[in-house]
Amino acid sequence: MSPEVPVPDIGTRRVAVYAIGGNALSDSSGMVQEDSVINAVMDDIVNLLEAGFRVVITHGNGPQVGDLLLMEETCMAERRRNGLDDWVAATQGMIGHSLSLNLEKHLMSKHRPERTAVVLTRVEVDGDDLAFATPTKPIGPVLDDETILEMEWDVATTINGPRRVVASPSPLRILDIDVINSLLDLNAVVFCCGGGGIPVLADIGLTGIAAVIDKDRVSSLLACEVDADVLVISTAVDAIYRDFGEVNQKKLSTISSDEARQMIEQEQLPPGSMGPKVEAMLHAREFSDEMTVVLCQPGEAISAVRGDSGTTLV
């Protein structure tokens, strides 16, 4: 068992960034479903609060933003179409609203004093980022052959099947970080950077751009910008595995930065699934040796922070 990570008392409150995977929020309308996964996520957030952390939460939107784009392109062909950045903003609002209502119920049932805030968050990207030339970010549902032939989309094969892919540039700066920090100071539980944040160019004013920033990468940047003590990457898999899916797969309770980079180079961590999560963990570790950086499944956040489950980057 790993050494126990001390949990702060209420007088020395620290900050935890908790990243929720978009595939845990898979209702096609973008609304959050009442299910065991979401309840486990809510329990994680409340447990972190009760352990003395202020909590800021990010979430994915890949399934939802893709579904909305598909709806627009198949049902609204004669109307002016929105940009991809508009749909990222829309899913931020829908998912953030639903998550915040859900969490408010849990907070009230536990007689917690905190209330929630949802921040429509803009994130600066570089218009010359090479990602715009090579779309890699999967969004929307698995596609059938007819849809692939009908739509003029970039499509890539993922572990679940063929999906639409879009540009996923690196986040440079969270433009609304001062608002987020102010809300944390007011003891709010903050939902922000939904779907990786709304991608914008900031050369002359602010201009939205067609892209979806990776949620885990922006979560790492957020953890650095709020000077977080803990970064929790919550995902469907309970830990990082070596030789995942093979007969000899090995669960890793801890992983070093060197070992993680080696596994990425060996293509053991696919770019469409676990790869970006581990890269985000590495980015956080490069920023701070003191930050506790863990990956776990919903419901195990506090256990992972203590080193008793999930995978800790050491």
Q: CA 80, CA 112: separation in Å to the nearest integer?
A: 45
Which residue, 168, 57, 181, is CA-closest to 107?
57
Residue 27 pLDDT greater than 60, yes or no: no
Which residue, 143, 164, 304, 158, is CA-closest to 237?
304
**28: its two tokens:** 């096609």
CA 197 to chain CA centroid, Å, is 10
21-45 average pLDDT score: 68
**97: its two tokens:** 């609203």
Residue tagged 């639409």 (tokens): 164
Helices (H), the chain: 36-50, 62-75, 84-109, 145-150, 177-185, 215-225, 257-265, 274-287, 301-305
Pairing of strands 161-166, 137-139: antiparallel
Q: How do residues 262-276 score in pLDDT, each as one tens digit? A: 999 998 988 767 899
The three-class DSSP label of residue 40 is: helix
The answer to which of 77-86, 120-129, 196-205 has the lowest mean pLDDT is 77-86
CB atoms within 10 A of CB 39: 14
Which pLDDT score, from 0 to 100, does residue 64 have?
Answer: 55
**210: its two tokens:** 């067609």
Side chain identity at 271, as an amino acid letter? P
Residue 36, phi then psi, degrees to nearest 5? -65, -35
Residue 151 pLDDT greater than 80, yes or no: no
Q: What is the pTM of this model?
A: 0.85
Output b/e per residue, 162-191; b: 16+ Cβ within 10 A.
bbbbbbbbbbeebbbbebbbebbeeebbbb
215-222 average pLDDT score: 96
Q: Is the model more confident about 201 or about 66?
A: 201
Which residue, 195, 268, 193, is CA-closest to 25?
195
User: CA angle, 125 as apex, 284 and 210 as ends, to 5°?
Assistant: 125
Continuous segment of H or E residues that includes residue 236: none
Which pLDDT score, from 0 to 100, does residue 188 have?
Answer: 96
Q: Is the model more confident about 221 or about 90?
A: 221
**163: its two tokens:** 């999906």
Fold of 10-120+173-196+209-313: Carbamate kinase (3.40.1160)
Q: CA 240, CA 310: separation in Å to the nearest integer?
A: 7
Q: Where are the domains of the chain?
A: 10-120+173-196+209-313
161-170 average pLDDT score: 86
Provide the residue count of the chain: 314
The answer to which of 54-68, 144-158, 251-265, 271-285 has the lowest mean pLDDT is 54-68
**Mean pLDDT, rounded, of the chain:** 85
Note whether 56 and 15 are within 8 A (CB): yes
| Active-site residue list | 22-23, 137, 215, 277
